[in-house]
């Protein structure tokens, strides 16, 4: 999600990994058939294409770490949130697996994507197997909120799929209202992050208001992340690597700052460049970035990110957590968006 190294997270959060890694390995090992397991293990980074252990781990496990914290925030221990954490991580990776096929992306996390290694049919099936395993793992948890938590996970998953579908559809549309683009980002990025922040609490049977406030915190963080990520996709950031300046413009992405600009007044030149069929030259990419900025897209996205972060803080305060989990939520939230609260 961000390129900030994992070591910036405090040690207490990092210890979640010692719970998460064996639980994820166990779920993938026991619920997936050998072919699906091999693809999942490769995609998750534990194994190479032949199934040999890599000795490393793919993702940063931010979402499942939030789920463990969520269980603690509701008065449980981290281990109570394991089923929620495993389910969230599998749903997240199901979406990455299918997204890579849909986008035709050849690399992820510096490795060949699963569909390029195992073929499209098996990669589709492995995604299907992972979301199914996620649902089973959560539903089988012995905790009082297992049924409610699974229902929430499915609602978030449906929103994530809906957001992804809108994102794909936007590519072919000339006119995307800004509110629709914000909703898409909330669905695509916010819903699962909100679920990650609340699912552990819901699993251990927390009061609905606590579950709701934690979900709202995560959703606002997700939107802030998307806004900041979209800003980096146009203007980059010398302090962060990963995103090339102008990357999102070259592929004519309908990202939030661009849609904000396209919906402003007097954007004839921007529309003519951005909505035409022919590729943009390097000079035109810079011209588009300039036009988006002049139309107010950059300022709007920055201010909207600030508003989302302020809303996240408010929601977290309303959750009324003890000091330690409150501080840890803020720390992980800041880690996700790449700035301190």
172 or 340: whose CB is closer to its own copies? 172
Contact between 66 and 335 under an 8 Å Cβ cutoff? The reply is no
Nearest by Cα to 201 from 141, 149, 137, 142: 149
The phi-psi region of residue 265 (left if phi > 0; otherwise alpha if psi is between -120 and 50; otherwise beta) is beta
21 or 128: whose CB is closer to its own copies? 128
Q: Which long-range contacts (CB under 8 A, 24 or more apart) does 324-331 make?
A: 325/69, 325/72, 325/73, 328/10, 328/12, 328/13, 328/69, 329/66, 329/69, 329/73, 329/197, 329/214, 329/217, 331/9, 331/10, 331/13
| Binder of its own copies out of 8, 158, 281, 303 (CB under 8 A) | 158
| Cα 290 from Cα 286, distance rounded (Å) | 6
164 touches its own copies by CB under 8 A: yes
151 or 327: whose CB is closer to its own copies? 151
6 touches its own copies by CB under 8 A: no
Nearest by Cα to 193 from 337, 319, 304, 20: 337
Nearest approach, Cβ of residue 161 and its own copies (Å): 5
| Binder of its own copies out of 25, 111, 147, 307 (CB under 8 A) | 147
Site pattern 229..258 for its own copies (x: CB under 8 A): ------------------------------
101 touches its own copies by CB under 8 A: yes
54 touches its own copies by CB under 8 A: no
| Binder of its own copies out of 155, 244, 281, 303 (CB under 8 A) | 155
Nearest approach, Cβ of residue 94 and its own copies (Å): 8
Nearest approach, Cβ of residue 290 and its own copies (Å): 31
| Binder of its own copies out of 41, 166, 267, 308 (CB under 8 A) | 166
Rule CB under 8 A: which of 108-137 touch its own copies? 120-122, 124-129, 131-133, 135-136
| Cα 160 from Cα 137, distance rounded (Å) | 20
Rounded to the nearest 10 degrees, what angle do helices 82-103 and 146-170 cross at? Answer: 20
Please give the residue ranges that form the binding site for its own copies (CB under 8 A). Answer: 31-33, 35-36, 94, 98, 101-103, 120-122, 124-129, 131-133, 135-136, 139-140, 146-147, 150-151, 154-155, 157-158, 161-162, 164-166, 168-169
């Amino acid at each position: 999600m961000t390129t900030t190294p994992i070591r910036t997270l405090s040690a207490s959060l990092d210890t979640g990994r010692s719970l998460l890694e064996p639980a994820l390995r166990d779920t993938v090992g026991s619920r997936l058939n050998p072919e699906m397991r091999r693809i999942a293990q490769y995609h998750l980074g534990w194994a190479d294409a032949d199934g040999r252990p890599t000795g490393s781990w793919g993702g940063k496990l931010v979402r499942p770490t939030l789920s463990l914290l969520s269980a603690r925030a509701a008065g449980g221990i981290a281990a109570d949130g394991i089923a929620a954490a495993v389910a969230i991580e599998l749903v997240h990776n199901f979406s990455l697996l299918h997204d890579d096929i849909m986008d035709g992306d050849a690399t992820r996390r510096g490795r060949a994507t699963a569909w390029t290694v195992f073929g499209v049919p098996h990669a589709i099936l492995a995604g299907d197997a992972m979301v199914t395993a996620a649902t089973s793992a959560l539903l089988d948890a012995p905790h009082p909120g297992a049924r409610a938590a699974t229902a929430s996970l499915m609602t978030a998953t449906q929103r994530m799929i809906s957001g992804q579908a809108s994102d794909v559809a936007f590519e072919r549309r000339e006119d995307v209202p800004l509110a629709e683009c914000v909703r898409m980002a909330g669905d695509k990025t916010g819903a699962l992050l909100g679920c990650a922040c609340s699912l552990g609490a819901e699993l251990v049977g927390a009061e609905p208001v606590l579950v709701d406030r934690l979900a709202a915190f995560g959703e606002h963080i997700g939107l802030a992340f998307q806004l900041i990520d979209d800003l980096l996709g146009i203007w980059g950031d010398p302090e962060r690597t990963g995103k090339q300046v102008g990357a999102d413009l070259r592929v004519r992405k309908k990202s939030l700052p661009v849609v904000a600009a396209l919906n402003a007044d007097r954007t004839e030149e921007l529309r003519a460049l951005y909505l035409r069929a022919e590729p943009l030259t390097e000079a035109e990419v810079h011209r588009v970035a300039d036009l988006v900025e002049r139309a107010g897209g950059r300022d709007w996205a920055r201010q909207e990110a600030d508003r989302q972060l302020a809303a996240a803080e408010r929601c977290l305060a309303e959750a009324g957590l003890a000091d330690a989990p409150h501080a840890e939520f803020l720390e992980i939230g800041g880690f996700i968006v790449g700035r301190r609260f």
